[in-house]
Amino acid sequence: MAVIERVKADLHTAMRAGQKERVSALRLLLSELQKAAKEGSDDELALLRRERKRRLEAAGAYREAGREELARGEEAEAQLISGYLPAELSDEELRAIVQQAVRDSGAQSIKDMGRAMGQAMAAVDGRAEGGRVSGLVKAALGG
C-alpha cells in the first residue's frame, strides 16, 4: 500500500476515534503528500524525511525559546511521521554497507570521501541519517 493510502486510512481511523491531535497531524501530512503528487513528485519517502526533519528542527527552536509544550507537540508529529518511514539500519548493518561502499568506490583516503559517501548513501536508501553514514565513512577512510 502506498504511503498516501496508509495516511488516508489512518486519518479515518483517528477521526472515528476522536484523536484531535493525530487527525490534525495526519491532515497536514496528507496535504503535503497530495501537493507533492500533484506537482509530479513520486518520492513519498523523501517528503516524509523532509517533514520529519522540519518537525524536529521546530521542536529544537521551541525548546530554546522555553516553549516545552509546543516542542513536545512537534516531536510527537515527528514520531508519527517516522512510523511511515522504513526502519533504521542497525549499527552492524550500516557498518557492513559502508565497508562495501568504500571497497566498491575504490576510495583510499579522506580525499575520496565524496565517492564513498555517494555509494553508501545510495545503498542505505534513506534507512540511516547522513551524519551516521558520514562518521562511519570517515572512520573507514582513516579520517
pLDDT in tens, the chain (143 residues): 688 899 999 999 999 999 999 999 999 999 999 998 898 877 888 889 899 999 999 999 999 999 999 999 999 999 999 999 888 888 899 999 999 988 888 888 888 888 888 888 888 887 888 888 899 999 888 86
What pLDDT does 69 receive?
95
What pLDDT does 143 receive?
66
The domain made up of 91-140 has a fold known as Arc Repressor Mutant, subunit A (1.10.10)
The structural architecture, per CATH, of the domain 3-82 is Orthogonal Bundle (1.10)
CA–CA distance, 96 with 3 (Å, rounded to integer) = 29
What pLDDT does 111 receive?
87
Torsion of CA 11, 13, 15, 19, to 10 degrees: -100
Of 71, 134, 131, 68, residue with least CA distance to 98 = 134
CA–CA distance, 107 with 91 (Å, rounded to integer) = 21
Query: Would you kindly state where each structural domain of the chain is located, as residue ranges?
Result: 3-82, 91-140
CA–CA distance, 32 with 78 (Å, rounded to integer) = 14
What pLDDT does 40 receive?
84
What pLDDT does 1 receive?
61
Asked if residues 132 and 51 have their Cβ atoms less than 8 Å apart, the reply is no
